[in-house]
Structure 1
Amino acid sequence: MKKVVLQVALDLLELNRAIQIAREALAGGVDWIEAGTPLIKSEGMQAIRTLRGQFPDAVIVADMKIADTGTLEVEMAAKAGANIVCVLADADDAVIVEAVRASRLYGTRLMADLINARDPVARARELEALGVDIIAAHVGIDQQMIGKDSLDLLQALQEETHIPVAVAGGLDVVTAGEAAKMGADIVIVGGWITRSADVEGSASLIRKSLDLPALAAPEKKSQDDEIRSLLMQVSTPNISDAMHRKGALPGLVSLCGDVKMAGRAVTVHTMAGDWAKPVEAIDGAAPGSILVINNDGGNHVAPWGELATLSCIQRGIAGVVIDGAARDIDDIRAMKFPLFAKAVVPNAGEPKGFGEINTEILCCGQQIRPGDWIVGDESGVVAIPGERAYEVARRALEVKKAEARIREEIRRGSTLSTVAELIKWEKR
């Protein structure tokens, strides 16, 4: 069986961090080092020069994503030390031809990136005819977040080209092995390696999955199950960061401490402690749902208590959010049930039946619709629009990965300000 090339994509902004990560990745079995587009935009050709100086025997890939001036940009990258230069597959044929000529002149290879190509299979054939050396089946990060899959593109390219095919886009230890089994010549992995607290260990796992691609593909889940699984892996701060610091429901506190919940909202609008509609909503809620209650009228009277909580547990409801107060907290804490509210009071209202179930409501100033996703932990509660839940969950996981690497660098003696190069990146 052929050896599959493992390429690490250094899609960082800070050159010093990229060098250290590259060093650890090479120790873990990486073959090629890619100066990612963000690194090149941040540091220019100095990124490639520095990588070449630090790793004189390594294959250096410059992900230039050339769209114009094919000769000039290939020349820049080649003279800086790149062995392989990347051009956009969707660039005009004239750009491709000039880039090919320049790559021959300067002794580099040319990789064409199919990201966003309208007809990637047809374009791959054309690029091969134009003299491109490597085709990259690449699904970009924003496309990954909405569910597009680089392995689907790789499969479509099989038997359509006669030059090496690379695959990139959100690959991990399992999907990298799948790519190898499907015949990829080059597997490009970014965040799963570069955002790991143990870069060398993560690279080694990928290397093993390429050399012995026997790992079973994960069992397919429903989208709701996949969203819930992703959201339970991340924190509410991760989610807020993924939503550009939005989505929080301010003022809510976890009344049972270290508990977590994630599920679709069943909304309830009730009046000042009237607990009829909140309790009725339990009977119609699907397992895994979260009740979100607007207790219109303030925090002085509770529409929720221990018996309602016990009913939720019996029905498999994942949690409750109250823009208002709750009571019987000692009993509820003993149940370790995810309950989030603004206040605790002993007195309840009366079951008069005012309000509505599964209508759009305001909760802590946020508009919540039935079916929106709600996540709660000790840091608070966030709401995610239902149509964006998969995307936001994926982005939140990327936030968590990035923080894992930063945390490790701080443990090694750095500081957050140094790692993030805050002074350099302050807004001018």
Structure 2
Amino acid sequence: MSLFPTYKRFPLTIVSGSGTTVIDNKGKEYLDFVSGIGVCNLGHRPPHVQKALEEQLHNVWHVSNLYQIPIQNEAAELLTSTTNLDYVFFCNSGAEANEAAIKLARKHTFKEKILTFKQSFHGRTFATMSASGQEKVHQGFGTLLPTFEYLPYNDTKAVQDVQDDQVAAIMVEVIQGEGGVIQGNKEFMEAIEQKCRELGALFIIDEVQTGIGRTGKAFAYQHFGLDPDIITSAKGLGSGFPVGAMIGKEKLAETFSAGTHGSTFGGNPLASAAIKATLEVIFKPDFLQSVMEKGYFFQELLNEKIGSLSVVKEIRGHGLMTGIAIHTEALPVIDELRDHHLLAVPAGPFVVRLLPPLNVSYQEMKRAVEILAEVLDQITDKTINSD
């Protein structure tokens, strides 16, 4: 194999997919509750998005951002229409969106320090790696950028105690995805917003995994009635097409003037077609309401069927973003789930993460919980028998 070994790959080769179902190169079918790690929010090959991409393929694939791209503006208007924000910068990934947010915050405030949180994850570029509050992400890369500091997550007092007029921004995830599916509480989030106003800092919310309907709102911060200056988005934004976006308030527009930032491929016609078609489906109020209802159903079913098992420590999450904290290592459980034709991923060493497509059926959720119950019950029995 001619690839750098940067990924610890599962022994699975997916060759086709439709909706919530994928098929491997041996003809086996799986329920996909990974969705490309929260990317395929409409499942695999959603018809509306596929049609939009096929139409765009027959027109033009790429033009420089030095030219007018009407469909790019249409995609941007869909993003801003569901938020309190006004302008969009398109790029290719969540890490790039967070890079743009970091650059914009520093340039706008003329300050350098950015506060993030322990166990956070914001990307793998040098700046976003430095912003991430996880030691395993930092290891081996030498001295990180010194302008990031990490506060404990969900610690309201730690935020309130900050007294530093050199803070350019505080950046936070509403739910820490890679950190274990840990949800921020309302008091904590409100304290961050208040501290940003007090310090003249920008309030940045990383919605790379939680946004685009994943929690039943267009963006997860909307559950708390927050008023961020910047949000970042990627993953579910393009239904599998590589896209990212930084969305900010009008007051920031002059700071990101011509020549201050850019992206060759960001928001090109193909990317914009994927974004527009995706948002046309997900941002409909009825669709978001259905995600909310499915999320409640899924959480209740999980608590009913596996919540009392001795191997299960906690079931957490919001909408269709779920983490099952267990008393044993997650990877062997995920391997066993795959053998039972259910795909899941870890969120840290002891959390099984489930991110089904937002249009998953109730029957598919029931089947997934049946498989989880069977696998986790076996682990419980083994633990009891070994004691």
TM-score by length of 2: 0.32
- Larger-Rg structure: 1
The higher-RCO structure (CA 8 Å, 6+ apart) is 2
TM-score by length of 1: 0.30
